Each structure stands twice: as structure tokens, then as C-alpha cells.
Chain A
Amino acid sequence: MAGSGKSYLEGETGLWSWLTSLDHKRIGLLYFFSVAFFFLLGGIFALLIRLELFSPGALFPADMYNRFMTYHGAVMVFFVIIPGIPAILGNFFLPLQIGAKDVAFPRLNLMSWYFLMTAAVMALCTLLLGGVDTGWTFYTPYSISFKPATILMAFAVFIAGFSSILTGLNFIATVHRLRAPGMTMNRMPLFVWAIYSTAILQVLATPVLGITVLLLAMENIFNIGIFDPALGGDPVLFQHFFWFYSHPAVYIMVLPAMGVISELVTTYSRKTIFGYTAIAYSSLAIAAISFLVWGHHMFTSGQSEVAAITFSVLTMLVGVPTAIKLFNWLATLYRGSIQMTTPMLYTLGFMFIFTIGGMTGIYLATIATDIHFHDTYFVVAHFHYVMVGGTLMAIMGGAFHWLPKMVGKMYNESIARMSFVFIFIGFNVTFFPQFVLGNMGMPRRYHDYLPAFESLNKISTIGSWMIGFGFLIALYAIIQAIRSGSPAPMNPWGSKTLEWTTASPPPHENFLTTPTVTAGPYEFK
């Protein structure tokens, strides 16, 4: 079959051709639209949370606030940041970057998307059953008080997990088997390395979440008592099972972000990446260590001191590969010809925010200080700095970086920069005060607070509006690019990876002739 040379957007058109497409690029865009919708949904819940916390006293009933908080967490975690970068950018660019025509199992790839959609519909249906108010962590025994909504949500998470496993499996097989001639493992772009490490986590960790939520559903339906202290079960074991998945899940969220940052930092410094091997293998190291640290979520849960100390020490190890990445990025910037494009701004924003997020993690990994900070806004600020500041900054940077390749149009640089300004400043205005609030002792997850916390909470809520506005600008920039952007050349940024050697947007078969690779991915001169 000779390539027709037509772009993947042309050819068959119509909604049906998209919903049945096996082309990884189209599936990537399907994920983009659905994840963007979930992000809007989760974002609305976030704004409602901040609205309630704008001033002391109840604006919404407490029960309703608990549901906002649960849905914000569950939607953002399971339907936005976990599928986020791997399913959108990974789907689109992993095959392109290794010179493959598609992922290993295109049908499975489409099926994963349908699984995610099914899960999302189920998750939204729980609203009709009265809603879930357990928080996204579903801690027992509160979550086993026989609520139909919890049962449906548990199955929704199970199916979302299935989607994640199948995506991971697909990517591992793709990386192992479909690399173009000459594309050795040590010549793969760092984004591929990051997605590959993430995929390993998805396959190894998600099944344990599957069995955990299955047990949770059974607990609700049949009172099996495995996690119910009234029947001799151990609720702390639920936490162990839950965090065996959910801690690596944190890295499922952030490793792909680090991969994106590696691409952006080298492209917009116009310089070969510093320490390619170190960055590549530190992804695998982070993936491995992430399995050894989950107990740091449970320091106050009643787990034994021996376990707590072990987990605390192991947690400190995560800092090593993370710092390796950060220092290598800094060294890449050093004496590079830095271009302050929108993706580069997001990259620098990522480094700033992620460093704060990482450093504050040290206090939470230290048992003594964690006792003080546990379940306060300090924790909320910390994980938003890592997950939102990290992943969302990277996804925005990546989206603008690859937009010309995905849709074949250039975006307006000044509008896009404006989105960065609002998101970056808004983010820090929202979450930095929460470090202080947490330190002052404001507990998380409550719908109300003492008057002493009012002024910082007001600042935080105003920040959340700035973030929301920033995302609206970003959305506008993307729509404007698609509607009236100038046509994108093949390689607008002067990047060196393979996806830039094919047309923008790429043809259905990605490369008209299979590329042969003879050098590393970042050979800038």
C-alpha cells in the first residue's frame, strides 16, 4: 500500500469515521476533546469549592460541598491527569517519535477510549444516585456504609483502570517492537522514555486498584467485611492496597510531564539535551522507587512505626532521580539560545512550581513534621504544586509545542503567552497561601473554617478565578489557531525528533517512507 500523502484529518470525515478510527492520531484527538471536557467539569467543581471557602460560613450545604470535593478529585485524577499526557500526547506522538506507523494494537487503543468513556458516563451517573461524598480516596469504613452511588463509582474506577492498563500495555509493546530501523532504545526521545516508564507503572500498579475497588463494591453490596472493622477486617489494609496503586499513580501523572519538559527544554534552548542517559534512566528509577514509598500517605493511619520509618527513608530516595532530571534541564538551559516562546514559558513555570512542590514533599515525608501537616492545607498545596503545577504546566506547554503538528496551524504567540501569565500567577496566588494556611492548622476537606483563616482563603479563591481565566485564554488561543492560524511548516521550531520530519499534519501512515535513524534524538549544532 503506497501512501496517499493525504493528512490524517482528510480522507474519511464525519463523526462516525472518527468514532471508529483506528488511527492513533485521531484517537489522540478523541482523548483530547474528552479530557478537555472532563477538565472543564473538574474545574467547575474546583471553582465551586473555592467559592464556598471564599468566606467563613456555609454558602452551600456541607453535604453538597463534600460532593464537590469528591467529584473534583475523582474527575481530575481518574479522567484528566491520569489519561492526560499519555493518552493525548502519548497516543499522538509516541509512534511518530519512534518512526512507527501506529501503536502496536490499534483496535485495543480505540477500545481503551471507549472504556474511559463508559467509566466517565458511569461516574457521572453516580450524581443521579445521590452522589459520592467519600473523597477520591474512598477510605473505609466510611465508604462501605452501603451507598449505591459508591458502588457505581467503584465500578467506574475499575473500568477507567482497565482503560489505563490497556493503554500502558499498548505503549510497552509499541516501544519494544515497533521502533524504526536504527532507533535503538538509547536513541529514543526522552518523551518516549517517560511514556514508556509510565506505561510500566500503568500495567503493574493499576490492577491492584482494580481489585481494591472491586472489594470495595463487594463490601457495599454483600457486606463481606474484608475492610470493615466491625466484621474483623482491617481498614488500614485498604489504605495499603489503595496507595500501592495511587502512589505510583502520582508518577503516572508526572513522569509524562517530565518527558514533555525534556523535549521542550532542548528544543527552545536550541541545544543538545544535557545528560540524555541520566534523564532516560532516571525515569525508570522514579518508576521503580515509586512502588516502595506508598506508606508515607499513611503516617497517621495506625500503621506500625517500623513500616512508617521504612517508608519515610525510602521516600527520600525519590528526590535523587527527580533532582537528576531538574539539574540536567538546568544544565541544558545553560548557555543555550533560549527562546521565550509559550512552550518555553510553561517549561520554566513547570521547573519553578515543581521544585516548590518537590521540596515541600520533604516535610511530608519526614514523620515528625508530617504529624503536624497531615490532613491540613499544606498537603493540599503540596500535591497541587506537584500534580497541577507539574502536569498541567507540561500539558499546556506540550499542547502549544505540538499544536502545529497536530492540526497543521500556528497559534498566536501573544495570546498564548497571556494564558501562561494568568495560569502561572493565578496558580501561585491560589496555592501558595494554602501552605501558610496548612501550617497555621487549617484542616483540609471541611466546608467551613475559623475566621482567622479568612484573608488567605480570599486570596486563594481570587487566584482560582485567575487560573480559570487563564485556561479560557488558552482555549481561545487553540480555537483561534485551528480556525484562522497560518498553515504550519513541517518543522516550525527547528526540532530534531522524528515527528518533525513528516508533514504538518502528518499523513495517515505517518511517514511516506519509513525513516532510518542514524543518530541520537537531539543533535543540535
Chain B
Amino acid sequence: MSSNSQHHHFAHHFESEEHEYATSKEGVWLFLVSEILMFGGLFVGYIIYQHMYPQVFHEGAMHLDWRLGALNTIVLLFSSLTMVLGVHFSQLGDRKKAVTALAITILCGAIFMCVKYIEYSHKIHEGLLPGAWYTGETHGLSNMGLYFSFYFMMTGLHGTHVLGGMCLILWVLLRANKGEFNSHYYTPVEGVGLFWHLVDLIWIFLFPLLYLVG
């Protein structure tokens, strides 16, 4: 509809396209607040239990492969860069470059999930499972499963967000491909981008928490 027209038709309750843009962006930021508080609960729980059972968390972290964690960190950071480029080129109305950047971002998300899959199947194979299901090495401790409850909850919830983010990026990719975005209207790419950066941001904290210092 708006592929030919440079001007975006903003909704009737806004005064201008900037007005709509700024309001939508504030909405996205408020949503990110709720995401941070949701993950915050898990972080708080992790820190408390880590102090309660330091040995469990130490031994648990030893079972994680920091190389895979570091690889995933770099993959996500790179995807954040391509996301930024996706927004940048959408804003310039450069359809081809925007689509390429967004496609690479999705690809990075997929690589991240594949690495996660390798990690998960390894853990399941060794019986490193949450709570009562733990059948791996006990190291003389009776609740090793607690560490893996946190590991699976945190990475699982984060992974769900990666998958959700990939779907959202696919959605803006298709719209970008139709040439719907230009300097007057690129709000959806911007919003999805903010969400994707948040997913990256959470991983930036999960990586040291789970793989490095535990």
C-alpha cells in the first residue's frame, strides 16, 4: 500500500508520523522493562542459591563448556551489529541491504540455537537434568540438580526469546522486502531491533553468570 508513497499514513489519534514513532518506541521500551523484570527474578534466585550452595554451583558450572558459551556470545553480538545495520538500511530505504542484514541476523539466531541444541543434547545425554531428574555425577552433593534447574530455566527462557525474536525479524524482513520502510516509516524494524538487542543484553549477563564464574 505504502510501497510507492513516501508518506506513511499514521493512525488517527496521532498528530504526525514522528508522534506515532516516538509513542510506539516508548511502548517498546516499556515492554522491555517488563522483560528485564521477568529475567530479573531468575537472576535474583540464581544469586541467592549460589550463596546458599556455593559448591553445587561451582561443580555445576564446571560441566558447562565455556568455549560454546563464548562462541554463542560472539554470534549474538554479531547479530546485534547486523540488526543495527538492518535498521540503518531500512531507514535509508535501501531495500536490498536491509533485507540482507536482517537475513544474516536471523541466520545468527539460528546458529545460536544450533549451538544451544548441541549443548542441551550433551547435557541430557549425561543426565545433567534439572531438580529431581538429575542423574549425572553427584560430587558427593545431594542437590546438584538445582544448578541445572537454573541453567535450563534461564537459557530456556532466553532461547524462547531468541526464537520469538527470529520470528519478529522474519516479519520485518518480509515487510522490508516489500519496500515498506523508508525514512518516514521504519518503526517496526526499530522496535524489533530494540527487542533483539535486549535478548543480546540478557545473554551478555548470562554468559559470565553461567559459564565463567559459577
Please name all residues of chain B whose beta carbon is closer than 8 Å to the beta carbon of A225 when the two chains form the complex. Answer: 130-132, 143, 145-146, 149
**A52, CB-defined interface residue at 8 Å:** no
Please name all residues of chain B whose beta carbon is closer than 8 Å to the beta carbon of A168 when the two chains form the complex. Answer: 30
**B204, CB-defined interface residue at 8 Å:** no
Please name all residues of chain A whose beta carbon is closer than 8 Å to the beta carbon of B22 when the two chains form the complex. Answer: 177
**B42, CB-defined interface residue at 8 Å:** yes
Cα A102 to Cα B20 in complex, Å, equals 13
- CB-CB contacts of B13-57 with A at 8 A, as 1s and 0s? 110000100111011001101111111111001001100110010
Given A215-B153, A509-B12: A231 in contact with B143 (beta carbons within 8 A)? yes
Cα A165 to Cα B38 in complex, Å, equals 12
**A41, CB-defined interface residue at 8 Å:** no
The size bracket of the interface on B is 35 or more
**A178, CB-defined interface residue at 8 Å:** yes
User: Would you list which residues of chain A between 466 and 488 have a CB under 8 Å from chain B?
Assistant: none
Q: Contact partner of A223 among B19, B49, B131, CB < 8 A?
A: B131
Cα A211 to Cα B156 in complex, Å, equals 13
> Which residue on chain A has the smallest CB distance to residue B131?
A225
**B133, CB-defined interface residue at 8 Å:** yes
B34 touches A223 (CB 8 A): no
A223 touches B133 (CB 8 A): yes
Given A177-B22, A225-B146, A226-B150: A208 in contact with B37 (beta carbons within 8 A)? yes
**B118, CB-defined interface residue at 8 Å:** no
B19 touches A210 (CB 8 A): no
Q: Contact partner of A231 among B30, B39, B45, B132, CB < 8 A?
A: B132
Q: Contact partner of B30 among A173, A212, A241, CB < 8 A?
A: A173
B13 touches A101 (CB 8 A): yes
Please name all residues of chain A whose beta carbon is closer than 8 Å to the beta carbon of B24 when the two chains form the complex. Answer: 105
B26 touches A177 (CB 8 A): yes
> Which residue on chain A has the smallest CB distance to residue B44?
A241
**A222, CB-defined interface residue at 8 Å:** yes
Please name all residues of chain B whose beta carbon is closer than 8 Å to the beta carbon of A208 when the two chains form the complex. Answer: 37-38, 40-41
A237 touches B38 (CB 8 A): no
Q: Contact partner of B27 among A105, A211, A219, CB < 8 A?
A: A105
Cα A71 to Cα B57 in complex, Å, equals 39
User: Would you list which residues of chain A between 204 and 257 have a CB under 8 Å from chain B?
Assistant: 204-208, 210-212, 214-215, 218-219, 222-226, 228, 231-234, 237, 241
Please name all residues of chain B whose beta carbon is closer than 8 Å to the beta carbon of A214 when the two chains form the complex. Answer: 157
**A450, CB-defined interface residue at 8 Å:** no
> Which residue on chain A has the smallest CB distance to residue B35?
A207
A495 CB, min distance to chain B CBs, angstroms? 23
**B4, CB-defined interface residue at 8 Å:** no
The size bracket of the interface on A is 35 or more
Cα A211 to Cα B31 in complex, Å, equals 15
A106 touches B34 (CB 8 A): no
Q: Contact partner of A106 among B11, B37, B56, B157, CB < 8 A?
A: B11
A237 touches B48 (CB 8 A): yes
**B5, CB-defined interface residue at 8 Å:** no
B41 touches A203 (CB 8 A): no
**A6, CB-defined interface residue at 8 Å:** no
Given A225-B131, A232-B142: A211 in contact with B38 (beta carbons within 8 A)? yes
Cα A218 to Cα B19 in complex, Å, equals 42
Cα A228 to Cα B39 in complex, Å, equals 20
Given A178-B23, A208-B40, A212-B41: A232 in contact with B34 (beta carbons within 8 A)? no
User: Would you list which residues of chain A between 139 and 176 have a CB under 8 Å from chain B?
Assistant: 165, 168-170, 172-173, 176
Please name all residues of chain A whose beta carbon is closer than 8 Å to the beta carbon of B45 when the two chains form the complex. Answer: 215, 226, 237, 241
**A108, CB-defined interface residue at 8 Å:** yes
> Which residue on chain B has the smallest CB distance to residue A244?
B41
Given A207-B35, A226-B45, A231-B143: A172 in contact with B30 (beta carbons within 8 A)? yes
B37 touches A207 (CB 8 A): yes
A241 touches B130 (CB 8 A): no
A101 touches B12 (CB 8 A): yes
User: Would you list which residues of chain B between 127 and 166 have a CB under 8 Å from chain A?
Assistant: 130-133, 142-143, 145-146, 149-150, 152-153, 157
A169 touches B27 (CB 8 A): yes
B131 touches A228 (CB 8 A): yes
> Which residue on chain A has the smallest CB distance to residue B33?
A203
Please name all residues of chain B whose beta carbon is closer than 8 Å to the beta carbon of A204 when the two chains form the complex. Answer: 33-34, 37
Please name all residues of chain B whose beta carbon is closer than 8 Å to the beta carbon of A15 when the two chains form the complex. Answer: none
B38 touches A226 (CB 8 A): no
Cα A183 to Cα B146 in complex, Å, equals 53
B207 CB, min distance to chain A CBs, angstroms? 20
> Which residue on chain A has the smallest CB distance to residue B14?
A178
> Which residue on chain B has the smallest CB distance to residue A22?
B11
**A365, CB-defined interface residue at 8 Å:** no
**A104, CB-defined interface residue at 8 Å:** yes
B23 touches A173 (CB 8 A): yes
Interface centre among B23, B133, B157 (most CB of A within 10 A): B23
> Which residue on chain B has the smallest CB distance to residue A202?
B34
> Which residue on chain B has the smallest CB distance to residue A211?
B41
**A284, CB-defined interface residue at 8 Å:** no
- In order of increasing CB-CB distance, the 6 nearest A-B pairs are A232-B143, A225-B131, A223-B132, A224-B149, A101-B13, A211-B41
Q: List 12 A-B contacts (CB under 8 A).
A: A104-B26, A105-B24, A106-B11, A203-B34, A207-B34, A208-B38, A215-B153, A225-B132, A225-B146, A226-B149, A231-B143, A233-B146
